[in-house]
Amino acid sequence: MFFTLSKIFSFLITPIVWIVLLVLISFIFRKKKWAKRCFIYTVIVTLFFTNSFISDFAVSLWEYPMTADKDLAPCYDAGIVLGGGMITIDKKYDRLAFRDNVDRILQAVSLYKTGKIKKMIISSGSGNLVLRDMMESSLLKRYFLKIGIPDSVMIVDSLSNNTHQNAVNSAEIINKEFPKGKFLLITSAIHMRRSLACFKKAGVKATPYSTNKLTGKLIFDVGHFIVPNINALDAWDNLIHEVIGYIAYFLWGYI
């Protein structure tokens, strides 16, 4: 129930939905006196949420800082790789297809190849309301095997549909396999705050290893200030999803 409701709510709170609703209201009630005012609100909201500088600044306040390699321990027992929009499969051609969050996959491979992590705990189920059989962690394991990473290195959790379940299921694996181990938590910078809180609640102490950073040094450029950019809407979607998710997890007792 929580999983389904969270997906529906995540859709409803996106800026593009707000903009579309304002446009529809303006159109449906265009003969009313306040329809013109509603249209003005639509323009203001659209300009705000498509401003790259504003979205970059807001996201930068939430993203968890990266951990410098020099600040890492020489080696960790496992890297916990959290799923979410990393990989799918084209069933017609039986070909794996990588998506936006592929950075954490590459970072995990690099950490293993350089000896920073001994094993990988890959935690990700479907995470999709429709494609319930699309087990991301299993697909990711298939990819790792294909590029030569031994099966013995990977521990798969394909039952997790959200971050809370990632933490609970990973904690069970850790308590069984590495009761006194050291771990890296590998997920996107924007998702790291909620992830760390969930893992702490589950009793797992892990060093954060942020990936997929959406922002860098703020750009002070005229074009960046005033030219609308549709990609800013996507940044806002990610940020609002994480902030609301953090609040919901707190109220639900997951963190």
| Contact criterion met (CB below 8 Å) for 161 and 3 | yes
Q: Which residues contact 178 (CB under 8 A, 6 or more apart)?
A: 77, 78
Does the pLDDT at position 131 exceed 70? no
Look at residue 27 in the predicted model and tell me its pLDDT: 75
| Contact criterion met (CB below 8 Å) for 120 and 79 | yes
- The residues facing 89 across adjacent strands are 96
Look at residue 173 in the predicted model and tell me its pLDDT: 96
Q: What is the distance between the alpha carbons of residues 186 and 69, in angstroms, rounded to a whole number? A: 13
- State mean pLDDT over 78-105: 87
CA distances from 31 to 19, 20, 236 (A): 20, 19, 32
User: pTM for the whole thing?
Assistant: 0.87
- AA identity, residue 3: F
Q: Pick the more confident residue, 32 or 39.
A: 39
Q: What is the distance between the alpha carbons of residues 141 and 24, in angstroms, rounded to a whole number? A: 45
Does the pLDDT at position 253 exceed 50? yes
Look at residue 9 in the predicted model and tell me its pLDDT: 60
- State mean pLDDT over 32-50: 82
| Most confident segment among 12-16, 90-94, 150-154 | 150-154
Q: What is the distance between the alpha carbons of residues 137 and 94, in angstroms, rounded to a whole number? A: 16
Look at residue 79 in the predicted model and tell me its pLDDT: 97
Q: What is the distance between the alpha carbons of residues 205 and 28, in angstroms, rounded to a whole number? A: 54
For 46-57, how does the pLDDT look when each residue is reduced to its tens digit (9 = 90+)?
A: 899 999 999 999
Does the pLDDT at position 178 exceed 60? yes
- State mean pLDDT over 152-181: 93
**140 closest CA partner among 199, 81, 205:** 81
Look at residue 129 in the predicted model and tell me its pLDDT: 46
Look at residue 65 in the predicted model and tell me its pLDDT: 94
Look at residue 181 in the predicted model and tell me its pLDDT: 94
Q: Chain-wide mean pLDDT for the chain? A: 87
The structural domains of the chain, ordered by start, are 2-63+222-252 (no CATH), 69-211 (3.40.50.620)
